[in-house]
Chains A and B, each alone.
Chain A
Amino acid sequence: MIELDGLTKRFGNKVAVDHLSCRVRPGMVTGFLGPNGAGKSTTMRMMLDLDNPTSGSVRIDGRHYRDLQEPLKHIGALLDAKSMHGGRSAYNNLLCLAQSNRIPTSRVSQVLDTVGLTAVAKKKSKGFSLGMGQRLGIAAALLGDPEILMFDEPVNGLDPEGIHWIRNLMKTLASEGRTIFVSSHLMSEMALTADHLIVIGQGKLLADTSMADFIHENSRSYVRMRSPEQERLRDLLHAEGIVAVESGNGTLEIDGEAPERLGELAGRHGIVLHELSAQRASLEEAFMQMTAGSVEYHAHSDRDGAEPPPVGPHWGEQWNQQQSGGAAGDRAKEV
């Protein structure tokens, strides 16, 4: 269990973390989500007592980090893959950590085996690929067999096999009753691993909710209709009391109606449909909507103007303004 209480960190005038209060609970994977520069890493560093909070506090199992006698047995952390001395072998990098916490030396070989690095245990870690470095960092986190595990962007730079492995590892570790705290800026990744979500933007807490609730609240499902006789269709829907929103490219989006009913309705009135499809907003879109007002570094696209989308407009409006790769809302623009 990790408890943050009014955690604040200022760098000069810039507030990196702003009165963050939340709890990371055992037995589940808690996703820590936020855009780049939201203060995720700073928060994690404060949790590990690497950065001193400007105000507020962090408690690990009820104690301050510095009061932990054998911290590696309480909490294991993967901050970034480059937290090891490259000139030292993987084995020795872990050995010195084990010794500092009086962890039996046999654990070193065990964790190397767990992460699949036994074959390169005696090799210098600077020759490691990003994925191998990440595995070594995870081995270090697992060394003390801790109750809490913290991973900062663990899937960065991993190949699909490695990503799959990390996901399963986190789930297994959580099922053993451990507290898993994992940061990411990818909602899609969190959707696959996290049970609980803590979302921050510009250092502020935006959401602290279970994954299921987040999905329930944020993934809007709607029906998309496209017809060559759009005016007729609109009038028909209007007459039936159905609200349709024009979303450009000649498509209509309808909330809260089953596609079956809409299809039958159009059929009864002889309106030709080129498209009738049930759509579901991706969590990525929900996340972007939530953090839109607090994104630290905006990329400006020439196409749709320099202004970032305002917070909380209608879903359909955002749809076509925001180009997000891999989102589920597939667009049928070129017709």
Chain B
Amino acid sequence: MTMPPQAHPAAQPPQQQGWNGAPGPYASPIPVRTPGLGDAIASEWTKIRSVRSTMWTLGVMIVLLIGVGLLTAFAVSVSDAPMDETPVLSLGFFGVLLGSICVITLGVLTIASEYGTGMIRTTLTACPSRARILFAKSIVFFLLAFTITTVTTGIVGVLQTAMLDGATPDTGFWVRSTVGIGLYVATLGLLSLALGAIIRHSAGAITIMIALVLLPLVLAMFMFSPTLARVQQALFEYSIPNQLGAMYDVSVTASGPTGWEPLFIILGVTAVAMGGALLSLDRRDV
């Protein structure tokens, strides 16, 4: 050991007195500084940057966003199809839809992989506050996913507007299709993180999240019965791909959420899921 053996009877708290024969309790020379949320965030940042899955999921997402975005822009530019109706920036939609799967995966892995590896026991032993752990993980993951998505969608948008000469998008639309999409995708990832905390199983949580994204749309497609028309309409309108499209002004349906509304919807859903995750972490055995 690097620490010299020492005993400080003076530093002995009252409840440890009354035990004779043994030396005084050990007092560490390491200064005690009360850690807070900031330290938990630093710790979670170390965790997320030091595993391969982060590089893989985010790397694949960047490739998908830029690759699919450029491909669609290229396809449109050679096809000479008229672009007057659809805004140029909406071409980023396909890449983002695919890329969101990567964010979902990373969101789930951020917490569920700790259960898979057993790291969660070490984590919670080091920081017994479940709320602090969940917030720190959420903040680190959200900022990372948001930054990457916003920057990448911005780059794709600039490239697409340069390749195609449609109507120049206004600032509001620019903000919505970059920052807005970044917020939406990162929140979707946060929902995955919450689900990962509840399910505690990477593959299971990822499957459920992908089903959540795709299933409403697929189900709606097969609802031919007229009695189900309203259900079908709702499934179409509130399916995640359609809401993502709505933020790009390319909603499949004429009605349903528009503009920034999808973001508020997913923020609400995620807040509820986070509450559930916190409750689950707090009450259940690890």
| Distance from B166 Cβ to chain A, minimum over Cβ atoms (Å) | 44
CB contact under 8 A between A175 and B29, given known A96-B44, A100-B40, A140-B122: no
Inter-chain contact A26/B286, CB cutoff 8 Å: no
Complexed CA–CA distance, A140 and B52 (Å) = 22
Inter-chain contact A178/B26, CB cutoff 8 Å: yes
- A111's closest neighbor in chain B, by CB? B2
Inter-chain contact B2/A144, CB cutoff 8 Å: no
Main secondary structure, interface of B, reads loop
Task: Say which one of A86-94, A154-162, A319-327 lies at the interface with B.
Answer: A86-94
* Residue numbers in A under 8 Å from B259 (CB-CB): none
Inter-chain contact A49/B43, CB cutoff 8 Å: no
Q: Is B168 an interface residue (CB 8 A)?
A: no
CB < 8 Å neighbour of A83 from B2, B27, B28, B119: B119
Q: Is B171 an interface residue (CB 8 A)?
A: no
- Which A residues, 40 to 55, have Cβ-Cβ distances below 8 Å to chain B? 45, 48-52
Give the residue among A62, A66, A100 with the most B Cβ atoms within 10 A. Answer: A100
Inter-chain contact A26/B30, CB cutoff 8 Å: no
- B3's closest neighbor in chain A, by CB? A145
Q: Is A107 an interface residue (CB 8 A)?
A: yes
Inter-chain contact A50/B127, CB cutoff 8 Å: no
- Which B residues, 108 to 151, have Cβ-Cβ distances below 8 Å to chain A? 113-114, 117-119, 121-129
CB < 8 Å neighbour of B117 from A61, A85, A113: A85
- B7's closest neighbor in chain A, by CB? A177
Inter-chain contact B128/A26, CB cutoff 8 Å: no
Q: Is B165 an interface residue (CB 8 A)?
A: no
Task: Say which one of B14-22, B176-184, B209-217, B265-273 lies at the interface with A.
Answer: B14-22
* Residue numbers in B under 8 Å from A129 (CB-CB): none
* Residue numbers in A under 8 Å from B283 (CB-CB): 52
Q: Is B285 an interface residue (CB 8 A)?
A: yes
| Distance from A150 Cβ to chain B, minimum over Cβ atoms (Å) | 9
CB < 8 Å neighbour of B26 from A71, A101, A177: A177
Complexed CA–CA distance, A62 and B27 (Å) = 16
Inter-chain contact B1/A50, CB cutoff 8 Å: no
- B33's closest neighbor in chain A, by CB? A102
* Residue numbers in B under 8 Å from A1 (CB-CB): 15-16, 19, 25
Q: Is A249 an interface residue (CB 8 A)?
A: no
Complexed CA–CA distance, A172 and B23 (Å) = 13
Complexed CA–CA distance, A172 and B50 (Å) = 34
- A51's closest neighbor in chain B, by CB? B285
Task: Say which one of A73-81, A234-242, A259-267, A281-289 lies at the interface with B.
Answer: A73-81
CB < 8 Å neighbour of B24 from A49, A84, A177: A177
Q: Is B6 an interface residue (CB 8 A)?
A: yes
Inter-chain contact B46/A96, CB cutoff 8 Å: yes
* Residue numbers in B under 8 Å from A225 (CB-CB): none
| Distance from A120 Cβ to chain B, minimum over Cβ atoms (Å) | 15
- B29's closest neighbor in chain A, by CB? A145
Total chain A interface residues with beta-carbon distance under 8 A: 61
CB contact under 8 A between A71 and B127, given known A50-B286, A51-B286, A82-B118: yes
Q: Is A95 an interface residue (CB 8 A)?
A: yes
Inter-chain contact B129/A80, CB cutoff 8 Å: no
Give the residue among A49, A88, A92, A99 with the most B Cβ atoms within 10 A. Answer: A99
Q: Is A301 an interface residue (CB 8 A)?
A: no
CB contact under 8 A between A95 and B286, given known A71-B126, A176-B3: no
- Which A residues, 259 to 283, have Cβ-Cβ distances below 8 Å to chain B? none
- Which B residues, 72 to 90, have Cβ-Cβ distances below 8 Å to chain A? none
Q: Is B32 an interface residue (CB 8 A)?
A: yes
| Distance from B215 Cβ to chain A, minimum over Cβ atoms (Å) | 31
Inter-chain contact A87/B51, CB cutoff 8 Å: yes
Inter-chain contact B50/A96, CB cutoff 8 Å: yes
CB contact under 8 A between A101 and B23, given known A61-B15, A95-B46, A96-B44: no
Q: Is B172 an interface residue (CB 8 A)?
A: no
Q: Is A220 an interface residue (CB 8 A)?
A: no
CB < 8 Å neighbour of B1 from A65, A87, A88, A172: A172
Inter-chain contact B23/A27, CB cutoff 8 Å: yes
Complexed CA–CA distance, A51 and B285 (Å) = 4
* Residue numbers in A under 8 Å from B125 (CB-CB): 48, 50, 71-72, 75, 77, 79
Inter-chain contact A147/B286, CB cutoff 8 Å: no
Inter-chain contact A176/B46, CB cutoff 8 Å: no
Q: A45-B121, A88-B51, A110-B2 are in contact. List 19 more A-B contacts (CB 8 A).
A: A1-B16, A26-B22, A26-B26, A27-B25, A48-B121, A48-B125, A51-B286, A68-B128, A73-B32, A80-B118, A89-B50, A95-B46, A96-B44, A145-B28, A146-B28, A177-B5, A177-B6, A177-B22, A177-B27
Of the A-B pairs whose beta carbons lie under 8 Å apart in the complex, a sample of 21, sorted by A's number, is A26-B16, A48-B125, A70-B35, A71-B125, A71-B126, A73-B30, A79-B125, A80-B118, A83-B118, A83-B119, A85-B51, A85-B119, A96-B47, A99-B42, A99-B43, A102-B33, A110-B2, A140-B122, A146-B28, A176-B3, A177-B24
Q: Which residues does A use to contact B, with CB under 8 Å?
A: 1, 25-28, 45, 48-52, 61-62, 65-66, 68-73, 75, 77, 79-80, 82-89, 92-93, 95-97, 99-104, 107, 110, 113-114, 140, 144-147, 169, 172-173, 175-179
Q: Which residues does B use to contact A, with CB under 8 Å?
A: 1-3, 5-7, 13, 15-16, 19, 21-30, 32-35, 39-40, 42-44, 46-47, 50-53, 113-114, 117-119, 121-129, 283, 285-286
- Report, nearest first, the 3 A-B pairs whose CB atoms are least far apart: A27-B22, A100-B43, A145-B28
